[in-house]
Amino acid sequence: MKKRKELKKCISKTFKLGAIFILLTSMLGLVGCSRKENKKPKEAKTAEKMLKEKYNEEFVTYSVGGRWGTLTNTTFTVICSPKDNPDLKFKAEIDKDGAYMLDEYVTRKVSYSIEKSLTDYMRNNFEDFYIRVGAAFRYTDLNKSNMSIEDLYRDHPDARFIIDIVIDNKNLKGDYTKNLYNNINSVIKTNPQMKGKILIYIVTNDTYQKIINYVKDRLDIDSKFDHILKGSKSFNVEVTGGAMDMTFDTFEAKCK
Taken in order of first residue, the domains within the chain and their CATH numbers are 42-103 (3.10.450.570), 106-255 (3.10.310.80)
What's residue 36's pLDDT? 46
Nearest CA to 197 out of 113, 135, 123, 130 is that of: 135
What is the pLDDT at residue 22? Answer: 45
Buried b (16+ CB within 10 A) or exposed e, 85-114: eeebbbbbbbeeeeeebebbbbbbbbbbbb
30 pLDDT above the threshold of 70: no
Mean pLDDT of 191-208: 94
Is the per-residue pLDDT at 21 higher than 70? no
Biggest CA pair distance of the chain:
98
CA distance linking residue 137 with residue 31, whole number of Å: 45
Share of the chain above pLDDT 90, in %: 55
What's the whole-number mean pLDDT along residues 94-107? 86
Could you give the angle at the alpha carbon of 253 between the alpha carbons of 248 and 254, nearest 5°?
100
Q: Which of 81, 105, 114 is closest to 217 using CA atoms? A: 81
Question: Is the per-residue pLDDT at 16 higher than 70?
Answer: no
Reported as a pLDDT band with limits 50, 70 and 90, residue 144 is confident
CA dist list (Å): 40 to 36, 61, 219: 7, 9, 21
